[in-house]
């Protein structure tokens, strides 16, 4: 970082109109004289930073006498923490001068000016003055012209170095200078332990960014030391690629042609963006690249932060047990790639800016997940397991993001093979998960058209439908919660006629029925659903209490379900953080009740409590040609029901299986 940029940061972030450089001589001597003491000036600066008091100091007004009350309050709060009043008073005086808050500093009265009196401080100041070009004061007379020349010499030749030294402490650069890993201010940290990281470079309008290959697998998400919703539970993720860094302002400008960031600089992460802003950026990026970038799921984010398939499994923060090795703290975000990377070669997943994820934080108020903590947070918030949240339309100077890209297979060396981006005719993209020999969509289908382009009619709750034997789709919970985007998360509910698209019932494995599914995928038969259930129950970690029939939690998502009305640990709605060991992520989208017999008004039920998925298999009971098999999970059940049938006119969710 250039010296002039450091000065700009001080001016921009503290609002100082001018910087009284000479005051930093006193500040520097404080730091040197008391650096070895447990309650040193350096420690006080860090204390003020952690409590947000440096911003309060920068906002002290030079008008009236209110500044004295503000100063008294700051000194009192700091003194209560066991800091020496003399050290606090003198440090605050110099800091006010350094920030250009001149009048309060010059009017510093005796109440605050107990100041430096010890021999230790005096000796330190004389050393600094001597090194800077001052002649040490003696009892001999010195003329004013000589003193002026000495001061001018210091200001002209040595103040830049002194300013930078202070900036290291105040803005957190000092912790970055370890073992010669940083070659210059703002320079890149080099980690000899990361060798030739596999990945792929992409260029958009002249800006290049790198995606790192991550081989999927199972891992324990959360921590015993975490909060209620951060406790350990097994998760499975597929192969994917993740951004080497957070999305930078340079990349954002290349795609969006603007920059919403509060702290602007090309190689800093973009900040002050909402979750919706991220989605707009990703949509345009995909149009420019022809790829299908997206936000990471929360599980993908934590898996990558922990080091993915190269994880050493020992770090609280992303790449280190010491936060300052990998995370920025201070008053603003920093340029990316200036701290150590983690085992994958991914930077800044702890600290710098909080990162939006695709998932909802909970299913009560619509907040989205934020991960990694930011430059304003404490160390705990920057741990790999800490969960944060924010409303998707909210913009904060600490909010940023990174992107991921799905791939089909990553070999042991981290090289990408093929792509499994499942996209329907509407352009919707779906995560997938391999369970045994089957590859399933890990999200509910939400297409409005068949693969051949034919539109699927939509029906609204409370409206009489002319014939429930005609294909239809319904947006779950749309009328109840006024959520116009509910289908984005839950998918549509379809009747069986829409699912089959005119094809005949199938009981074979595989079904051979494409129906409503994208090309290369098909509607699962009942036999395929039973294959899934049998495989899941064969793995003990999926069986609650060791009971092979109690696998509902293994297939259900970790959020969205109503809490069970019974205190039974194996029920889907009980302690949902232990759900989804398979990665199937079943959501309680409810169902649409309709009948071809009565042509009654359709009624939506069970949102948050139940979910059902159609099969391609008609009911084989005599006289039941208007019924088909479905698979059902319920918040008050531990098992998965595979022998349920229902009228084909009803609306349920759909999951497709890869051919």
Instruction: Record the tokens describing residue 595, joined without a space.
Output: 């009948």
* pLDDT at 16 (0 to 100): 38
pLDDT digits 0-9 by tens, 10-28: 434 444 333 333 333 334 3
Residue 183 lies in a domain: no
Are 401 and 432 found together in one domain?
no
Residue 189 lies in a domain: no
CA distance 608 to 634: 9
Are 462 and 538 found together in one domain?
yes
461 pLDDT more than 80: no
Are 569 and 479 found together in one domain?
yes
Are 114 and 209 found together in one domain?
no
228: left (phi over 0), alpha (psi -120 to 50) or beta: alpha
Provide, rounded to the nearest whole percent, the portion of the chain with pLDDT above 70.
69
Residue 440 lies in a domain: yes
* pLDDT at 5 (0 to 100): 44
Are 343 and 250 found together in one domain?
yes
* pLDDT at 550 (0 to 100): 93
Mean pLDDT, range 563-570, rounded to an integer: 85
CA distance 137 to 126: 8
Range of the domain at 237: 199-410
Contact 447, 426 (CB under 8 A): yes
Q: Rounded to whole angstroms, what are the CA distances from 115 to 27, 92, 425?
A: 12, 10, 73
CA distance 493 to 445: 9
What's the total number of domains in the chain?
3
Are 632 and 596 found together in one domain?
yes
Mean pLDDT, range 493-506, rounded to an integer: 91
Are 401 and 465 found together in one domain?
no
User: Does pTM top 0.75 for this prediction?
Assistant: no
Are 153 and 85 found together in one domain?
yes
Residue 415 lies in a domain: no
Residue 652 lies in a domain: yes
121 pLDDT more than 80: no
316: nearest Cα among 367, 381, 257, 365: 381
Which of 377, 410, 443 corresponds to the end of one domain? 410
Report which of residues 522 and 20 the model is more confident about: 522
264 pLDDT more than 70: yes
* pLDDT at 177 (0 to 100): 36
**301 CB contacts (<8 Å, ≥6 apart)?**
349, 355, 357, 371, 372
300: nearest Cα among 221, 387, 209, 400: 221
Are 481 and 403 found together in one domain?
no
* pLDDT at 164 (0 to 100): 58
What's the order of all strands across the beta sheet hosting 199-204? 199-204, 207-214, 240-243, 404-406, 293-294
**181 CB contacts (<8 Å, ≥6 apart)?**
189, 190, 191, 340
Are 403 and 448 found together in one domain?
no
CA distance 558 to 541: 16
CA distance 26 to 24: 5
CATH code at position 397: 3.90.1580.10
Buried b (16+ CB within 10 A) or exposed e, 125-137: beebbeebbbeee
Residue 460 lies in a domain: yes
Highest mean pLDDT among 22-26, 144-148, 393-397, 602-606: 393-397
Report which of residues 169 and 544 the model is more confident about: 544
Are 489 and 624 found together in one domain?
yes
Report which of residues 119 and 89 the model is more confident about: 89
SS3 433: strand
User: 14-28, 86-100, 386-400: lowest mean pLDDT where?
Assistant: 14-28
- End-to-end Cα distance, the chain: 54
Contact 214, 343 (CB under 8 A): no
CA distance 498 to 218: 36
User: 103-107, 268-272, 566-570: lowest mean pLDDT where?
Assistant: 103-107
* pLDDT at 179 (0 to 100): 29
Mean pLDDT of the chain: 75
Instruction: Find tokens 């695709």 and name the residue.
Output: 358
**1 CB contacts (<8 Å, ≥6 apart)?**
184, 185, 186, 335
Residue 194 lies in a domain: no
Are 436 and 326 found together in one domain?
no
Beta-strand pair 627-634/473-474 = unpaired
**281 CB contacts (<8 Å, ≥6 apart)?**
247, 252, 255, 256, 273
* pLDDT at 98 (0 to 100): 57
Query: Which letter does DSSP use for residue 390 in this model?
Result: E
Contact 317, 167 (CB under 8 A): no
Which of 410, 443, 473 corresponds to the end of one domain? 410
Cα angle value 105/106/110 (rounded, 5°): 85
User: 12-16, 341-345, 585-589: lowest mean pLDDT where?
Assistant: 12-16
Mean pLDDT, range 373-377, rounded to an integer: 85
* pLDDT at 145 (0 to 100): 53
646 pLDDT more than 70: yes
Residue 563 lies in a domain: yes
pLDDT digits 0-9 by tens, 177-231: 332 332 222 223 333 333 334 678 999 999 999 999 998 888 888 887 777 777 8
CA distance 252 to 273: 11
Provide, rounded to the nearest whole percent, the portion of the chain with pLDDT above 90.
32
């Amino acid at each position: 970082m250039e010296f002039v940029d450091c000065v700009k940061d001080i001016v921009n972030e503290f609002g100082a109109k001018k910087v009284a450089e000479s005051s930093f001589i006193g500040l520097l001597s404080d730091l040197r004289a008391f650096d070895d003491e447990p309650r040193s000036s350096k420690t006080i600066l860090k204390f003020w930073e952690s409590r947000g008091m440096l911003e309060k100091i920068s906002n002290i007004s030079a008008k009236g006498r209110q500044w004295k009350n503000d100063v008294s309050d700051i000194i009192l709060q700091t003194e209560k923490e066991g800091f020496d009043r003399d050290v606090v008073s003198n440090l605050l005086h110099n800091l006010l001068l350094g920030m250009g808050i001149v009048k309060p500093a010059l009017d510093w009265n005796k109440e605050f000016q107990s100041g430096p009196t010890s021999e230790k401080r005096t000796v330190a100041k004389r050393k600094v003055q001597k090194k800077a070009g001052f002649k040490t004061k003696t009892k001999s007379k010195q003329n004013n012209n000589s003193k002026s020349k000495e001061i001018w010499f210091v200001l002209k030749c040595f103040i830049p170095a002194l300013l930078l030294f202070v900036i290291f402490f105040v803005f957190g650069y000092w912790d970055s200078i370890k073992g010669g890993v940083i070659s210059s201010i703002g320079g890149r940290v080099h980690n000899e332990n990361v060798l030739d990281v596999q990945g792929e470079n992409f260029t958009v309008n002249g800006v290049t960014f790198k995606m790192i290959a991550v081989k999927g697998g199972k891992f324990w998400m959360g921590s015993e030391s975490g909060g209620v919703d951060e406790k350990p539970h097994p998760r499975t993720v597929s192969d994917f690629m993740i951004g080497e860094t957070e999305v930078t302002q340079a990349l954002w400008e290349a795609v969006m042609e603007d920059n919403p960031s509060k702290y602007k600089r090309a190689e800093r992460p973009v900040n002050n963006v909402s979750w919706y802003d991220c989605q707009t950026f990703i949509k345009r990026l995909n149009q420019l690249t022809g790829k299908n970038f997206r936000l990471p799921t929360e599980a993908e984010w934590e898996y990558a932060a922990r080091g993915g398939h190269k994880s050493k499994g020992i770090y609280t923060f992303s790449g280190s047990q010491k936060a300052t090795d990998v995370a920025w703290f201070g008053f603003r975000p920093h340029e990316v790639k200036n701290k150590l990377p983690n085992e994958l070669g991914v930077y800044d997943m702890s600290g710098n800016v909080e990162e939006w994820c695709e998932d909802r934080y909970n299913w009560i108020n619509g907040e989205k997940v934020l991960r990694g903590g930011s430059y304003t947070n404490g160390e705990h918030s920057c741990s790999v397991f800490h969960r944060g949240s924010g409303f998707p339309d909210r913009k904060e100077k600490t909010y940023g993001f990174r992107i991921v890209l799905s791939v089909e297979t990553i070999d042991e060396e981290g090289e990408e093979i093929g792509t499994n981006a499942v996209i329907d005719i509407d352009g919707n993209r779906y995560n997938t998960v391999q369970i045994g020999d089957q590859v399933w969509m890990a999200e509910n289908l939400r297409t409005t058209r068949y693969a051949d382009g034919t539109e699927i009619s939509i029906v609204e709750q409370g409206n009489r439908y002319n014939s429930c034997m005609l294909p239809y789709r319904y947006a779950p919970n749309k009328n109840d919660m006024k959520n116009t985007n509910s289908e984005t998360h839950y998918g549509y509910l379809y009747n069986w006629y829409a699912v089959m698209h005119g094809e005949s019932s199938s009981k074979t494995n595989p079904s051979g029925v494409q129906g409503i599914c994208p090309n290369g995928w098909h509607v699962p038969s009942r036999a395929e659903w039973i294959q899934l259930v049998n495989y899941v129950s064969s793995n003990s970690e999926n069986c609650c209490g060791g009971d092979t029939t109690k696998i509902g939690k293994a297939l259900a998502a970790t959020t969205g379900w109503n809490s069970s009305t019974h205190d039974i640990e194996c029920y889907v709605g009980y302690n949902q953080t232990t759900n989804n060991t398979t990665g199937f992520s079943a959501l309680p989208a409810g169902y649409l009740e309709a009948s071809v017999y009565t042509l009654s008004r359709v009624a939506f039920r069970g949102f948050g409590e139940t979910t059902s998925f159609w099969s391609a298999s008609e009911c084989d009971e005599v006289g039941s040609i208007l019924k088909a098999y479905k698979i059902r999970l319920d918040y008050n059940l531990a098992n998965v029901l595979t022998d349920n049938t229902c009228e084909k006119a009803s609306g349920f969710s759909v999951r497709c299986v890869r051919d």
